[in-house]
């Protein structure tokens, strides 16, 4: 007996598009379905881009202000801790003076390390 062979062919087509806008072909189809849709989609993308840029500009300004504020606050903390250290030495409490000095150094090192880690993430 002769066996019948069944040959099956499958063709798969994959189309990918990456970006904030649909592909030109899809834009054309949108425009065919709704006249003026392509222009509206482009306008929407432009408005979104402008909005995103404004938010990024605000974030950059905020980051700069935060850096200045945190530097001033760190300076103030060092001054206060220096005063506490001097008072502890004056009173004769060497243990409190050493603990204050170690705490101040650890705080400053920790803040700078944390700040550098945040900057490297960006």
Q: Is residue 17 a part of any domain in this protein?
A: no
Q: Which domain holds residue 97?
A: 24-121
Please tell me the predicted confidence (pLDDT) of residue 34: 93
Contacts of 74 (CB under 8 A, 6+ apart): 108, 111
Q: How many domains does the chain have?
A: 1
The mean pLDDT value of the chain amounts to: 85
Average pLDDT over residues 102-111: 81
Q: Is residue 14 a part of any domain in this protein?
A: no
Q: Is residue 6 a part of any domain in this protein?
A: no
Contacts of 23 (CB under 8 A, 6+ apart): 15, 17
Q: Is residue 81 a part of any domain in this protein?
A: yes
Q: Is residue 7 a part of any domain in this protein?
A: no
Q: Is residue 114 a part of any domain in this protein?
A: yes
Average pLDDT over residues 34-61: 92
Spatial distance between the Cα atoms of 81 and 79, rounded to a whole number of angstroms: 6
**pTM, full prediction:** 0.48
Q: Is residue 105 a part of any domain in this protein?
A: yes
Within 13 A of 122's CA, how many CA atoms are on the CB side?
A: 9
Residue 103: Cβ within 10 Å count: 13
What is the band of 4 on the pLDDT scale with cuts at 50, 70, 90?
Answer: confident
Q: Is residue 5 a part of any domain in this protein?
A: no
Does residue 43 come out as left (phi exceeding 0), alpha (psi in the -120 to 50 range) or beta?
A: alpha
């Amino acid at each position: 007996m002769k066996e019948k062979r069944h040959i099956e062919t499958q063709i798969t087509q994959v189309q990918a598009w990456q970006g904030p806008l649909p592909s030109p072909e899809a834009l054309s189809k949108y425009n065919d379905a709704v006249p003026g849709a392509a222009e509206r989609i482009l306008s929407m993308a432009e408005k979104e881009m402008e909005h995103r840029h404004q938010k990024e500009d605000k974030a950059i300004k905020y980051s700069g202000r935060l850096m200045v504020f945190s530097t001033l606050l760190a300076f103030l903390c060092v001054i206060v801790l220096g005063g506490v250290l001097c008072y502890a030495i004056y009173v004769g409490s060497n243990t409190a003076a050493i603990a204050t000095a170690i705490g101040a150094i650890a705080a400053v090192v920790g803040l700078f390390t944390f700040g550098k880690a945040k900057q490297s993430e960006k």
